[in-house]
Amino acid sequence: MSGSVLRAATRGSPLARLQTGIVAELLGPDVTVEPIVVETTGDRRSEVPITQLGGRGVFVKEVQQAVLDGRADIAVHSAKDLPSTTAPGLVIAAVPEREDARDALVGLSLDRIPVGGRVATGSVRRRAQLAAARPDLTFAELRGNIDTRLARAATHHAIVVAVAALRRLGRAGQIAQVLDPDIVLPQVAQGALAVECREDDADTIALLAAIEDRPSRLAVDAERSFLAALGGGCDLPAGAYATAAADETVSLEAMVATLDGRIVLRESRTGDDPVALGTEVADHLLVGAGGAALLEDLVTRP
């Protein structure tokens, strides 16, 4: 498909536009990528906590619709923003090589935050795990693009931001501490990009196959399967991190917690089938470890 043109639906934030540029660069000089900027519910209502907007999906639905109705050929997403099940009519045609999946503190490192210090984050997953590590901490809401968030660092002891976002925007120098997954497990698919197209668009599917990274796909599939089996999204205190070995064996660690971080349940397993592995880990945490009782007011199963 030499000389192909792909219209790429994307959010208008600097990070989203940059990520679309990353996909364009990966596709190479024979493919012209034309950005189609779409405003999402999450962008329009940046003052409202994500949990109040309905959680996972508030940054992608309008972008996906642009592909479904033919205004765009592909959609470029931060994979962590996608619902755990793919929208009807679409397919995740490529997961390029994943960036660093971890979270980072900007401001003070965890051991330098004073007793009773305030950390800003809009994520219940991050709050629960940080509260487990430091029960004395207090928390403030944090929304907006990366520049807006970084500006808030001066008014708190620390803010929490994804390492991948800071690295992609050239802001890694502002990191005070990268949070090891032993302290804070990342959000499902954090650090990965997902490129969607229509499921009947064979030419575009073939074109995007060239930028697929197999280890990243296996890891993201395992994490998304965990979230799907859990029955929720980024409005849950849950996280997961998977890695794939050379033989395509996948290792997955996942957690569910109470909102206050007083109870954090973790499970680590390895398997050959990423989807089955994610489901198995979720079932163990919910049933075997009693996580369903912790999340009974938050988890809504189909």
Average pLDDT over residues 64-91: 95
CATH number at residue 43: 3.40.190.10
pLDDT band at 233 (very low <50, low <70, confident <90, very high): low
**Whether residues 124 and 166 fall in one domain:** yes
**Whether residues 83 and 119 fall in one domain:** no
**Residue 152 pLDDT exceeds 90:** no
**Whether residues 146 and 119 fall in one domain:** yes
Q: Is residue 174 in a domain?
A: yes
Catalytic-residue membership of 81: yes
Average pLDDT over residues 244-259: 96
How many structural domains comprise the chain?
Answer: 3
pLDDT band at 143 (very low <50, low <70, confident <90, very high): confident
**Whether residues 38 and 72 fall in one domain:** yes
**Residue 271 pLDDT exceeds 90:** yes
**Whether residues 25 and 152 fall in one domain:** no
pTM for the model stands at 0.90
Average pLDDT over residues 109-113: 98
**Residue 224 pLDDT exceeds 60:** yes
Identify the active-site residue in 81, 100, 103, 221: 81
**Residue 243 pLDDT exceeds 90:** yes
Q: b or e along 204-232 (b: 16 or more beta carbons within 10 Å of the residue's beta carbon)?
A: beebbeebbbebbbbbbbbbbbbbbbbbb
**Whether residues 87 and 234 fall in one domain:** no
Looking at per-residue confidence, does 56 or 261 come out higher?
261
Is 64 in contact with 90 (CB distance < 8 Å)? yes
Looking at per-residue confidence, does 258 or 46 come out higher?
258
Q: Is residue 299 in a domain?
A: no
Tokens of 300: 């809504």
- Give, in degrees to the nearest 5, the angle at Cα 258 between 102 and 231: 75
Q: Supply the pLDDT for residue 58.
A: 62
pLDDT band at 32 (very low <50, low <70, confident <90, very high): very high
CB atoms within 10 A of CB 88: 7
Final residue belonging to a domain, choices 179, 202, 237? 179
Q: Is residue 302 in a domain?
A: no
**Residue 175 pLDDT exceeds 70:** yes
Q: Is residue 185 in a domain?
A: no
CB atoms within 10 A of CB 294: 21
Q: Is residue 138 in a domain?
A: yes
Mean pLDDT of the chain: 91
**Whether residues 27 and 86 fall in one domain:** yes
Looking at per-residue confidence, does 247 or 2 come out higher?
247
Q: Supply the pLDDT for residue 52.
A: 45
Q: Supply the pLDDT for residue 302.
A: 40
Q: Supply the pLDDT for residue 248.
A: 98
**Whether residues 82 and 9 fall in one domain:** yes
- Residue 23, CA atoms < 13 Å, CB-side half-sphere: 31
Q: Is residue 64 in a domain?
A: yes
**Residue 1 pLDDT exceeds 90:** no
Q: Is residue 133 in a domain?
A: yes
CATH number at residue 228: 3.30.160.40
Q: Supply the pLDDT for residue 298.
A: 60
Average pLDDT over residues 154-163: 96
Q: Supply the pLDDT for residue 232.
A: 61
Q: Supply the pLDDT for residue 295.
A: 77
- Of 10-24, 222-236, 266-280, where does mean pLDDT reach its minimum? 222-236
Tokens of 28: 């190479």
249-255 LR contacts (CB < 8 Å, sep 24+): 250/218, 250/219, 250/222, 250/274, 250/277, 252/222, 252/223, 252/226, 252/277, 252/278, 252/281, 253/181, 253/185, 254/185, 254/223, 254/226, 254/278, 254/281, 254/282, 254/285, 255/129, 255/185, 255/285
- Domain span at residue 35 reads 4-96+192-212
180-190 tens-digit pLDDT: 999 999 999 99
Q: Supply the pLDDT for residue 55.
A: 52
Q: Supply the pLDDT for residue 116.
A: 97
**Whether residues 80 and 208 fall in one domain:** yes
**Residue 225 pLDDT exceeds 90:** yes
Is 19 in contact with 10 (CB distance < 8 Å)? yes
Average pLDDT over residues 254-269: 94
**Whether residues 170 and 205 fall in one domain:** no
Q: Is residue 217 in a domain?
A: no
Tokens of 106: 């900007």
**Whether residues 206 and 67 fall in one domain:** yes
**Whether residues 135 and 279 fall in one domain:** no
